[in-house]
Amino acid sequence: MIMGEPITKDESMMEVEKVDKPIELIKLENEIDELKKALKEEHNRAEEYLNRLKYLQADFENFQKRVNREIFDLVKYGNERLIVKLLSVIDDLERAIKSGKESDGKEALLNGIRIVLKELMDILKKEGLDQIDTIGKSFDPNLHEAIEYVETKDCPENTIVEEIRKGYLLNERLIRPSMVKVAIRKGEDNE
């Protein structure tokens, strides 16, 4: 409203309404303003959390990709150390073959092969490989595979009398059971 202009009916009603507003209505309007302000703050906070979450998700995806790459490399190159150690065994076997061709005595060849086998077994033992003891031991289905039962009076029942194929543990975990022949009592009804 400008000074000197006549007051219109609408303007005068607004003036009256401003004066006649009940205190509760003013309090409600103030409360609504405060709620709007609080809502806006919460909206801003939610936006900030969403942005943080997006960054965390991107970081996690990058971390996941890096870990997958590292696992792939471990699988791909994990045996490298063992293979490097085994290269000397290959060299020794090649020398043994060459020596066997040049000499007439098979004893020299056999000795060379025994030495190479011992070297190979030493390398594998350092890597955690152990042979399973069998002959004279009790049959254990967790470590041994019985391929034949032999009737005998010389050994107690369930004793391993012959090893057909060696079994191995890698770091105390079975990787191949021993194939064995197991004693049963002679003259008893056994399957």
Cα–Cα dist 137/50, whole Å: 66
Contacts of 33 (CB under 8 A, 6+ apart): none
pLDDT (tens digit, 9 = 90+) per residue, 33-86? 999 999 999 999 999 999 999 999 999 999 999 999 999 888 888 788 888 888
**Sheet of 144-152, strands arranged across:** 144-152, 178-185, 160-165
For β-strands 168-170 and 173-176, DSSP reports them as antiparallel
In terms of pLDDT, which residue wins out, 62 or 3? 62
In terms of pLDDT, which residue wins out, 87 or 99? 87
- 146 forms beta bridges with 180
Question: What is the reported pLDDT for 17?
Answer: 54
Q: Which has the minimum average pLDDT: 12-16, 31-35, 108-112, 186-190?
A: 12-16
Question: What is the reported pLDDT for 105?
Answer: 73
Burial profile 46-81: b = 16 or more Cβ within 10 angstroms, e = fewer: eeeeeeeeeeeeeeeeeeeeeeeeeeeeeeeeeeee
Mean pLDDT of 171-191: 83
Tell me how crowded residue 144 is: count the other CB atoms within 10 A of its CB. 20
- 165 forms beta bridges with 179
Q: With 60 as the cut, is the pLDDT of residue 1 above it?
A: no
pLDDT (tens digit, 9 = 90+) per residue, 104-157? 777 878 888 888 899 999 999 998 999 999 999 999 999 999 999 999 888 899
Q: With 80 as the cut, is the pLDDT of residue 8 above it?
A: no
What is the phi/psi pair of residue 17, to 5°?
Answer: -65, -40
Structural fold of domain 129-191: Nucleotide Exchange Factor Grpe; Chain A, domain 2 (2.30.22)
Question: What is the reported pLDDT for 93?
Answer: 86
